[in-house]
Each structure stands twice: as structure tokens, then as C-alpha cells.
Chain A
Amino acid sequence: MFAHNPYRPELATVKEVIQETQNIRTLRVVLDDEERMRQFTFRPGQVGQLSVFGVGESTFVINSPPSCREYLQFSVMRTGEVTQRIHQLSPGDQIGVRAPLGNGFSFEDLKGKDVLFVGGGIGMAPLRTLLLHMIDHRSDYGDIMIIYGARSPQDLCYRYEFDMWKGGNVNLVLTVDSEFPGWNGRVGFVPTVLTEEAPAAHNRVAIVCGPPIMIKFVLFNLKELGFQDDQILTTLEKRMKCGIGICGRCNIGTSYVCLDGPVFSVEQLKGMVPEL
């Protein structure tokens, strides 16, 4: 798609909208060009720019796994102008897509390793694509543990497929911030639950995504559990416009989050200027 003009979105049609939580919706979209849709490939963790023409563009991770050829899935939290309009879309509406952008997870390096996913709220979206990819290729990976938390049970995304995840032989630990009637999972903040679960750091990679405050304490607790900087991956967010490393705003020193990220290891981040 980028041979001619990387700023030109491809037209796509919304096929399905799933209300995940009160302010998060998942869109399943299909590129209008059937040939392009058939050829579309990406790496887990890569992102796309969704366009609502007349309103603008925003960046979201493609959270369907690469093996899913029927649609591209994006989960969108209603936060600003563009996401507000995306939430008004219904099946049959046309939008623009510029994808795939960014680096994605180097999942080849994760083969043979145990994996720990730590997600908070909408932060589960970029983890989902890699998780489903790993479930698709389950024998390539060792133990898989997920610690996923949200404010309340109603704020957990992808609730309808938790059983499918568990069926893929993963240890799913769910937690919410405080007691709710009928809630059988854990209660407590993600970093605390992480310490209580204490997954062994040996030969394990931790993949972390969530609100900055959660990440801050999760990184601290991972270190206490013996995780080294090169064992921890995170996917970053920045305000973006062009998505192709030109417009200048998503830089951390010399790195552009849109181009060189959004996936970075903590080791890589420590080599960059401290400006997150």
C-alpha cells in the first residue's frame, strides 16, 4: 500500500461493533479492496491509523492475530474527538485505514520461552494479538500466564473470550480494584497481584501494557521478582500524526514511537533519553 503515498488511507468497511465496556468498543473492519485484504499481513503489535474523514486520524493496535484473515480488529477507548466519532460508527460505515505501521513484537525471539502478560484496562488490546498468535502456535511457547486487571468487572475487555484463552492452556488471573457483588476473581491492583502470583523469572519474558502508573509499579515489582531489563517488553503510546516517522512529535530522543516502536524492551528504553 505504501508504494505511492503513505498518507493515503485505504477504504474499509466496518463489519461488526462489539461494546466491550462502557467506554471501549471493538471494531472489526474489512478492507474494501478484496485483493488487498487477502494479501494483508502484519506482525502482532503493529498498529494502524483509523480515519474518520472529516474528523481525523488516530492510532490503534491491530488486536486480531495475523492468522485471522477475515477482518482487522481494533479496540477503541472513547477519549477524544476522533474516538468519539469512531464510537458512533455502525456496521456498513466506511472508514480509512493506514496499516500496518510500527515494529510489532519480535515474537520469533520469544519461542521456547515462558511468557507473562501483564495488562491493565484497554492495555489488554496489544497483548491480545500476541496472545492469540501464541495460542495459534501454542507448542512454540512454554508456560503462559496472564495477569489482567481493570477497575471493575465491567471494565474488563474481551470477557466473552476468556474461556477460549483458558482453553489454549494459559493461566489467566483476573483482578479488579475493589470488591464487586458476584465477582469471583482476585481483588487488588495489578502490581500487587503480580507480586502475589510471583511467576518465576527464569527463561520468561514479561509483556506489559496499561496505564503509566500501573506500568511504573509493575516494572518495579518485576525487578524484585528477578526480571532483567531485556526480559521486559512494553508497548508505548504517544500523540501521533503521520505514523511514518516524519512529522516529528512522537520522538523519544532519536527514536520515533510510530516507526521504531511502539514495542520497546525496558533495556532499549533505558538507552533512550528519559522523556516518556
Chain B
Amino acid sequence: MSKQVFIPRDSLNQALERLSSKMNVWVPAASGSNKCGSEFVPYRPDLIPLLNRQTTTPPKAVVFPQVETLLSYEYTKDPDNPSRVKIQLDDTSAGSPTLIFGARPCDARGFLLFDQVFTRGPFTDKYYRDRRENSYFATLVCLEWDSACFCSSVGSGPTDMEGSDLRVTPLKDGYLVEALNERAEPILSLMEGDVPTDAQQQDARKLQEEASRQRVGNVDLTRSATDFKGRFEDKAYWRAMVSQCLSCGVCTFVCPTCYCFSITDEMQGLKGERLRSWDSCMFFQYTLEASGHNPRPTRFERYRNRVGHKFSFIPEKYNGMIGCCGCGRCIRSCPVSIDIRRVVENLKENACVCA
């Protein structure tokens, strides 16, 4: 039997308080800057966690910050030869224990792809690895989905706990929290919850079973790799699908699986940093070469690459894994209502592409 506690609704903040004295705790909350949006923020005592809706942006930045320092460097004058400078490099990195409380299955699942790319390739990205190894996901059994959600279409679902450490089942008067692996047990004890009653456990099981029977999204997008290749050179298809794309890149910024980044240098005086920051394959400059040549010069080529990356290249490279967790954020955020489900579904040979 898995280890579990019950946290009454009105003691959730105390439990989070106790956790935050031992580790970084991130919870979903209303965005300070955006009244209709929500995001993951570091826990603070007066915070009201928003556990009844998906956040506008995923907790991607907790494990993979939007900007982070890869290297610091400093030029110092060479005392033996003042016309010369010497360079000193510092590449220290460290992760500290971090809990993401109230993520949804799609949020946690995004990092399964990150793990492949950053830690299983021929090279290991230690900045990501250090943070990831210290991250814990307390994931909600998802009961709130909308018409943009399609997690079941990509092989996941509202009760999918792959990539999560704790399961949080929201009940009428509180939360049943279960440790799903050994590393999560200390977190559970820190929460100091009540021993769940039989009724609470039964309610939780019932809820989980009901949720697991739900099918979120009515298409199957897990077998599109070949269809994508067949459509690759069909320019008319891509133009029809994404003619309205503005290349704004919001789909990539809100995406839990989009990991592409840029590396740039910034310097002030004799000190500087090499920074890694989120980039977007939707941008013209992303692949622009110094010669002026650009392998993906127009919006349809860039969108085609995004679709191909998620539904064809990643499955081919990583044993069938889909580079999409079905959270629907790109659909909700798109200013021109491009629906990736439609683009992928219509890859099939005989699909109607009339707009």
C-alpha cells in the first residue's frame, strides 16, 4: 500500500509552509501581471494556490529557466605583460531540492522528453541534470479539462502519473497525497497530514477511476510520423494549414515540451556571462546563417518543422515517444487560432484540407 496522507483544505497552506522551509516549493497561482492568467510561482505564506485549473504557462521554467548562466568569465590584466589579458572561467552549477506542487499530468510529462534530450544523448547537460535530479512533482489527478485539451490523443490522460513523484487527488474537503516512489516519502512526512480515513481513500479511488476512464481529445495523434513524411513536400497543404501563422512563437513558449534554446554572451566591463535562453523555431533568425542563407525562410517551413519535430522526428529518435503532451496551451494561446490537432490529424493522405 502506498504511503499517503490527507491534507484538509484549510491546512494546505500550513503543509506547503512546512515544505517551503526545507525546499523550494512552486505552486500554481494567479499571475501578478496578468489578471486572467496563472502560472507557477514560489510559495509564500499569503499565497492562494490555484488548484482548480490548468495554468496559462507550464512549470517549464522551474526546471529549465527562461534565462540561465552557463559560464561566467572575467578578463584580468596579466601583471607580467600589461598589454595582455587573461581569462578566468567559472561554470559551477547546482540544483537545490524543489517541489512543484499542483502540476498536472501534462506538465510533468513534458520533462520526460527533456530527460531524453538533455541527459540521454551522447552529451549530458549538467545544468539541466542538476536541477532535474532535485525536482519533485506532486501532480494532480486532473478533473478540469477544456476543449483545447487532448492528452489522451498523445498516449497520456488525466490520471497519467509518468514522471511524477506524488499523486494529489482533490477531494471535497481536502487533498489525498500519495508518494509514488521512495524519493517522495520524505516530502510526504514533511507535509504532516492526517492519516486518511477509509471513506477518503474510497472517494479518492473512485475519483481516480472515473478520471482514468475519461478520454480527453477525440483523435489519435500517436501514429503520424509516416504521414508527416508523406506530406513534407506538399506545400499547398502547409500553406493551407498555417497561412495565418504570425511567427509570434507563443506556441513554443507555452509548450511544456519545447526545449530549443539559444546561447549568447553578455559583458559589462571586464566581466561577462554566457547565457542560455529559450528560443523559438518559429523565428526567422533561429536558423538564419551568417551568409544570409536560411534553411527555413518562411513561416510554413518553420511551422512544418515544429510539427515534424514533435510528431515525427522525436518518435523516430526516441522509440515512439511523442513530443507533445496534449496540454492544449498552444491552441489556447495562438492569436490566430491555429489548432495543432487539426494540422496533425489532416496529415493523413485523404484528409480534407479545405480551410
A residues at B contact (CB < 8 Å): 2, 4-9, 11, 53-58, 79-80, 83, 92-94, 96, 212, 237-239, 241-242, 244-254, 259, 273-276
| A241/B295 in contact, CB under 8 A | no
Provide the B265-293 mask, 1 if CB < 8 A to any CB of A, else 0. Answer: 11100001010000101000011111101
| B87/A7 in contact, CB under 8 A | no
Additional pairs, 6, CB under 8 Å, beyond known A93-B84, A251-B305, A259-B122: A53-B87, A56-B263, A56-B264, A92-B84, A246-B123, A247-B262
Q: Among B42-50, B70-78, B328-336, B345-353, which stretch is in contact with chain A?
A: B70-78
| B291/A79 in contact, CB under 8 A | yes
Interface SS, B side:
mixed
Enumerate chain B residues within 8 angstroms of A275, measured Cβ to Cβ. 295-296, 301, 305
Provide the B126-161 mask, 1 if CB < 8 A to any CB of A, else 0. Answer: 110000000000000000000000000000000000
| A248/B295 in contact, CB under 8 A | no
CA distance A11 to B87 in the complex (A): 8
Is B308 engaged at the interface, CB distance under 8 Å to the other chain?
yes
| B264/A94 in contact, CB under 8 A | no
| B295/A245 in contact, CB under 8 A | no
| A57/B263 in contact, CB under 8 A | yes
CA distance A248 to B310 in the complex (A): 12
Residue of A nearest to B81 (CB): A92
Known A-B contacts A56-B264, A57-B263, A238-B295; the reply to A7 vs B317 at CB < 8 A is: no
Residue of A nearest to B261 (CB): A247
| B123/A249 in contact, CB under 8 A | no
| A8/B89 in contact, CB under 8 A | yes
Q: Which one of A245, A249, A254 lies within 8 Å of B316 (CB-CB)? A: A254
Enumerate chain A residues within 8 angstroms of B70, measured Cβ to Cβ. 7
Enumerate chain B residues within 8 angstroms of A251, measured Cβ to Cβ. 305, 309, 313
CA distance A275 to B301 in the complex (A): 9
> Would you list which residues of chain B between 67 and 109 have a CB under 8 Å from chain A?
70-71, 73, 75, 84-87, 89, 91
CA distance A6 to B274 in the complex (A): 14
Residue of B nearest to A55 (CB): B265
Known A-B contacts A5-B91, A8-B91, A254-B316; the reply to A212 vs B293 at CB < 8 A is: yes
| B122/A239 in contact, CB under 8 A | no
Name the interface size band of chain B: 35 or more
Residue of B nearest to A10 (CB): B89
* Shortest distance from the beta carbon of A8 to any chain B beta carbon, whole Å: 5
| A254/B313 in contact, CB under 8 A | yes
* Shortest distance from the beta carbon of A104 to any chain B beta carbon, whole Å: 14
* Shortest distance from the beta carbon of B7 to any chain A beta carbon, whole Å: 38
* Shortest distance from the beta carbon of B71 to any chain A beta carbon, whole Å: 6
| B232/A274 in contact, CB under 8 A | yes
Enumerate chain A residues within 8 angstroms of B265, measured Cβ to Cβ. 53-56
| A247/B290 in contact, CB under 8 A | no
| B262/A6 in contact, CB under 8 A | no
* Shortest distance from the beta carbon of B153 to any chain A beta carbon, whole Å: 22
Q: Which one of B89, B123, B259 lies within 8 Å of A248 (CB-CB)? A: B259
Q: Which one of A11, A241, A254 lies within 8 Å of B263 (CB-CB)? A: A241
Is B61 engaged at the interface, CB distance under 8 Å to the other chain?
no
Is B260 engaged at the interface, CB distance under 8 Å to the other chain?
yes
| B279/A249 in contact, CB under 8 A | yes
Is B118 engaged at the interface, CB distance under 8 Å to the other chain?
yes
Enumerate chain A residues within 8 angstroms of B296, measured Cβ to Cβ. 275
Residue of A nearest to B90 (CB): A8
Q: 9 closest A-B pairs (Cβ-Cβ)?
A: A248-B260, A80-B290, A54-B267, A244-B123, A79-B290, A6-B123, A254-B313, A8-B91, A54-B272
